[in-house]
Amino acid sequence: MESPCPCPVCRSGELTSLTLMDAMSCNFCRHIFVPNGEPDVLTLADSAVALTWRWNGKRWLGVQHGGTIVGWEAGLLGAAFVLFPTMVMGFSAYLFPPLPGSPWAWFPLFWTGLTFCAHLVCVVWLAVEYYQFPVQLYLRAIQQAVIRNKSSIIN
């Protein structure tokens, strides 16, 4: 593995060795990684989910473990959680439409969209919490990249 190498989680920071420890940390997202016994394999140490990456010489590739990766069943359940309530609301709005010309005629369509958005936010939030996805760090990395691009255009 080259020194320094990019962080597999945030892809913005660089991994540095921790003093007197057999571990590495990212200087941007502050996650801690430990070598997995194999060369060029790191495991995320500060998460409930044991995410592992393998360095292929250019970038980090995720290593799948049995039992830790969410399968297609969870994706199907998440899609049903989002789509079923939305379809119930849309079908009820179709069966019982508001009176034409009433001031609240827009409300059933709005409520159906709100149902979809609320359930989608729940599923995305659960996925972010399960995988410990650093959303704030990604937004900060994007902001820094935009600032760097603006400064390089000016110079």
Tell me the pLDDT band of 62, cut-offs 50, 70 and 90.
confident
Please, what is the average pLDDT of the chain?
84
Interatomic CA distance for residues 150 and 141, integer angstroms = 14
- Residue 4: cis peptide before it, omega within 30 degrees of 0: yes
pTM for this structure?
Answer: 0.60
Average pLDDT, integer, range 57-69:
70
Average pLDDT, integer, range 71-100:
93
Tell me the pLDDT band of 65, cut-offs 50, 70 and 90.
low
Average pLDDT, integer, range 113-127:
95
Residue 82's contacts (CB-CB under 8 Å, 6 or more residues apart) are 116, 119, 120, 123
Please say if the pLDDT value at position 54 is more than 70: yes
